Amino acid sequence: MGDATGANDPVVEAVFDAVAGIAPEIRDALPGRRVESGTENPSGETVLAGDMYADELLADALTAIDGVGAFVSEERPEATDAGEGYSVAIDPLDGSSNLRSNNTMGTVIGVYDAPLPAPGRDLVAAGYTLYGPITTMVVADESGVREEVVERDPNATGEDGPEGASRSVVDEDLTLPDEPTVYGFGGRIPDWPDAFLEYAREVESELKLRYGGSMVGDVNQVVTYGGVFAYPTLVDDPEGKLRLSFEGNPIAYVIERMGGASSDGSGSILDIEPDGLHDRVPLYVGNEALIDRLEAALDDE
């Protein structure tokens, strides 16, 4: 295992090097992989060819890293053994349903110093790549949070794997803006419990709607402009839609490292003791005051 803080940990650096190195290859492959693969993932969702391609590239690169002991993916029922070391949890292509509409998506990464399933407190680093007009990567560890621009190395031949891209830090101390500006709430309004609907109505009267259907894209709005993102508990699905290991924990880690807050409606996402690898969780992240109001609103229910 590394020094269990993630800060300047060579294994953590190698993980994010690998994800950055693969990003241009994933992005270049998307135009030809907008079709359904004909399979479902362990969460029962339709898997696109893009999801499978990203999963395979990331599995090959990450399991080859000395110090990575397990590769765990939203697209795979079980962990893939890679020897001794950190467990790396991946959502290979979060928001892949945006492929057809040509909107944002990305890869979510969680580096746990424990076998999975594990609570988010066992994370030593987390982050995400975002395929927008440019490719960016947000990296959070014990030293803080930074934003990087990822570009294909002009001399890369495409076979270079993790060496195939350059990482340029554009903000070495990413913190949540003090003044919230935007919100994004997932699910359908008729499916929201009354207490969340009431909270949403208040927030809608204060902030601007930014919801694009991919968690990484919508969370990055909050990271950039301040505010709140939620995929809430639903009347018929109290656990909501997002997966704890691959989406909730990594994003909660990033936002809390930036000075924000996360919640499942009653407390930090990172404190949840999971039962299974693919557990779902209601996810609320953003400025602390907005999360405090959310918890008070749901507590009144």
Q: Contact residues for ligand P6P (CB under 6 A)?
A: 94-95, 97, 186-187, 213-215, 231, 241
CB of 212 to ligand P6P, least distance (A): 9
Q: How many C-beta neighbours within 10 Å does residue 277 have?
A: 21
CB of 48 to ligand P6P, least distance (A): 10
Q: Please say whether the dihedral angle defined by the alpha carbons of residues 73, 75, 79 and 84, taken in this order, is positive or negative.
A: negative
In the bound state with ligand P6P, the residue whose beta carbon lies nearer, of 94 and 148, is 94
In the bound state with ligand P6P, the residue whose beta carbon lies nearer, of 45 and 163, is 45
DSSP SS3 for 71: strand
CB of 229 to ligand P6P, least distance (A): 8
CB 58 within 8 A of CB 72: no
In the bound state with ligand P6P, the residue whose beta carbon lies nearer, of 68 and 219, is 219
Question: d(Cα 269, Cα 149) in Å, to the nearest integer?
Answer: 28
In the bound state with ligand P6P, the residue whose beta carbon lies nearer, of 140 and 283, is 283
In the bound state with ligand P6P, the residue whose beta carbon lies nearer, of 85 and 213, is 213
Q: Which two tokens stand for residue 184?
A: 């994004």
CB of 71 to ligand P6P, least distance (A): 20
CB of 21 to ligand P6P, least distance (A): 23
| Nearest residue to ligand P6P on Cβ basis | 215
In the bound state with ligand P6P, the residue whose beta carbon lies nearer, of 58 and 82, is 58
The DSSP output letter for 179 is: S
**Where are the strands (E) in the chain, listed by range?**
36-40, 46-48, 67-73, 80-81, 85-94, 105-112, 123-131, 135-141, 144-152, 165-171, 182-185, 208-209, 227-231, 261-263, 283-286
CB of 243 to ligand P6P, least distance (A): 8
